[in-house]
Amino acid sequence: MKNRHLQHIILEKIAELGEVMLDGFFPAKYPEARIWRDLLGTESSYRFSKPTFSAVLSRLHKEGFVLRHGARKKSRWAITKKGLKLLNIRKEEGRNISNSITSHKDGVMRIVCFDIPEKERKKRRWIREELLSLEYQPLQKSVWVGFAPLPEDFFEDLDLLSLRDHIHLFSVGKKGTIEKVK
């Protein structure tokens, strides 16, 4: 999406609607997609992705900008006072909310590889959601690529979950066949 990041759009729409379910962002039928693109202010080329929306909501929740009520699949999301305050500050400053949530892209390609045992599949799912919310893209299920440094709280969470030994990070100096990933 040009000029508007997903985090900002989600916070803005939750603030406008008061409370919303994740499925509320997605049309049940394709013809309704245009209505949602108009509502969310996205381009016609934007592809709605529940995993991406879910990861962004999870990140916003972790940062204290939104609250989740109810069971996982039927949960409702509402903006917090902290989220409203941040949204208002960013609107006043004319800046994008993603500046405070995700790192700036610096053009350096980074590859994140992880090998987390099957018995810890929840941790694997968590790391995938985090990488999605940080705008990293999967090359394989456990190999991801992105162009922004990972935030410090990501590494703190890795330590809390005892995952540091299962993660490998690489910076790519020269690109090969991976060029198409931009």
Domain count for the chain: 2
The separation between CA 41 and the C-alpha centre of its own chain, rounded to angstroms, equals: 18
- Among 80, 101, 122, the domain boundary falls at 101
Of the three residues 43, 74, 101, the one that is the final residue of a domain is 101
DSSP conformation class of 102: S
| Tokens (6 digits) for 33 | 């997609």
**Cβ atoms within 10 Å, residue 66:** 24
Q: Is the pLDDT of residue 88 over 80?
A: no
**Any domain includes 50:** yes
CATH no. for residue 176? 3.30.70.240
Residue 31 tokens read as: 């013809």
Q: Which is it for strands 143-146 and 109-114: parallel, antiparallel or unpaired?
A: antiparallel
Q: Are 114 and 96 in a shared domain?
A: no
Residue 1 lies in a domain: no
* Domain match, 40 and 91 both: yes
Q: Which domain holds residue 53?
A: 6-101
pLDDT tens by residue, 133-177: 788 999 999 999 998 888 887 888 888 788 899 999 999 877 766
User: C-alpha angle 179/7/11, rounded to 5°?
Assistant: 165
pLDDT at 112: 95
